[in-house]
Amino acid sequence: MNVVETNGLGKRYGKAWALRGCTLAIPAGHVVALVGPNGAGKTTLLNLAVGLAAPSEGNVTVLDGQPAGSAAALDGIAFVAQDAPLYKNLSASEMVHLTRNLNRHFDEGYAKARLAELGIPLERKAGKLSGGQKSQLALTLALARRPQLLVLDEPMAMLDPLARHDFMATVMAAIADDGLSVVLSSHVLTELERVADYLVLVSHGSVQVAGAVDDLLASHRVLTGPAVQANAYAERLNVVHAQGGEAQAQMLVRIDARTGPIPQGWEIHPVRLEELTLAYLREPDAAWLPGPGRSLRSEATEVAN
């Protein structure tokens, strides 16, 4: 089952496309890291998936083919936005009561028990809670809907390290207990590296890379060697990103049948998720790529998809 599937999906605001040509299939049972620079189209993609916006072109379905925004889809998806939207003048208990009345399925007992476990007073107004407590309240309200898919849009952006750790601990516990699928948009790559097992990278309004983290890491390597040989060696490689100085060059490449044996004087190293992500987010350095450098980047992107 795919929890999110898009085909030629695009969203235009006025004359500007926030997302275009997005074709993607995210299988169930994963913690998906959705990453990309500001303005890349991440929030637009999430809003389309949860039914908060309508596409300008293409289509998006969720939970094995349910139209995004339909009643069946909404029953199975919980969404926590970046600013943890809460009514600041309502108490935590009143937020639980309101959310229960706005949803067809809501486990009020779970919500209150979870807040008690977190030490969040039910009588305290949301506006008086700390940033971490607000995020935990919003997450608890989402999880009490017992969703199949939990969508989190930059939920840790305003949290300190301890609050981020506690937030993700709650998410991971829910995954273990309820078998949730999670799509998590975040700039905190170190947190994503710890929990994510599937990566979707969005840049310039389109999907650049999508796949299981283990598969992506296994198919990419960092090569280091003499700068004087870099261009000649790169001619037969799928180069994602290259950089170097006068003496040594470093290239992150996709390993395939073209790679062949590593020349003498060069070394090959495994790649970490953060390193892979940053390489795809950076613009290629044409000075270290043969011919028109962007052509190799484009080829590598197509293969990665």
What sections of the chain are H helices per DSSP?
42-50, 71-76, 92-102, 108-118, 131-143, 161-178, 189-195, 213-218, 230-234, 273-281, 293-304
One domain, residues 243 and 195: no
Are 192 and 98 in the same domain?
A: yes
Strand partners, 116: none
Average the pLDDT over 179-207 and give the result.
87
Nearest partner of 58 among 17, 16, 23, judged by Cα: 23
Interatomic CA distance for residues 126 and 148, integer angstroms: 26
Cα gap 97→101, rounded to integer Å: 6
Task: Give all strands of the β-sheet with 2-13 in edge-to-edge order.
Answer: 16-27, 2-13, 57-62, 66-67
Structure tokens at 66: 């349910």
**Tens digits of residue pLDDT in 131-160:** 889 989 999 999 999 999 999 998 877 778
Q: Residue 57 has what DSSP assignment?
A: E
C-alpha distances out from residue 133 to 68, 117, 299, Å = 30, 12, 45
Cβ 139 vs Cβ 114: under 8 Å: no
3-state secondary structure (DSSP) of residue 222:
strand
CA-CA distance, 129 to 304, in Å (whole number)? 43
- What pLDDT does residue 290 have? 43
Whether 228 has a pLDDT exceeding 90, the answer reads no
Check whether residue 169 and residue 224 sit in a common domain: no
Q: Are residues 71 and 189 in the same domain?
A: yes
Among the candidates 180, 213, 246, a domain finishes at 213
Question: Of 213, 241, 268, which residue sits at a domain end?
Answer: 213
Rounded CA separation 123/91 (Å): 5
Largest CA distance in the chain: 69
Residue ranges making up the domain that contains 26: 2-213
Given a cut of 50, whether residue 227 has pLDDT beyond it is: yes
Count of the separate structural domains present in the chain: 2
206 DSSP 8-state letter: E
Average pLDDT of every residue of the chain: 86
Whether residue 198 sits in one domain with residue 59: yes
> β-strands 31-35, 198-203: how paired?
parallel
The larger pLDDT score, comparing residue 178 to residue 4, is at 4
DSSP 191: H
If asked whether residues 201 and 232 sit together in one domain, one would say no
Identify whether residues 181 and 113 lie together within a single domain: yes
305 has pLDDT over 60: no
Other CB atoms within 10 Å distance of the CB of residue 1: 11
Helices (H) and strands (E) in the chain, counts: 11, 14
The phi, psi pair for 258, rounded to 5°, reads -75, -20
Q: What is the pLDDT of residues 66-124, one digit of tens each?
A: 999 999 999 999 999 877 779 999 999 999 999 999 998 999 999 999 999 999 999 99
**42/178 Cα distance (integer angstroms):** 26
Those residues with Cβ within 8 angstroms of residue 65's Cβ, 6 or more apart along the chain or in another chain: 5
Q: Could you tell me which of 130, 284, 272 has the C-alpha nearest to residue 214?
A: 272
CATH number at residue 160: 3.40.50.300
Same domain for 89 and 193, yes or no, is yes
pTM (2 d.p.): 0.84
Whether residues 66 and 175 share a domain: the answer is: yes
Reduced to 3 states (helix: H, G, I; strand: E, B; else coil), residue 73 is helix
Sign of CA dihedral 268, 270, 275, 277: positive
Choosing from 188, 213, 238, the residue where a domain stops is: 213
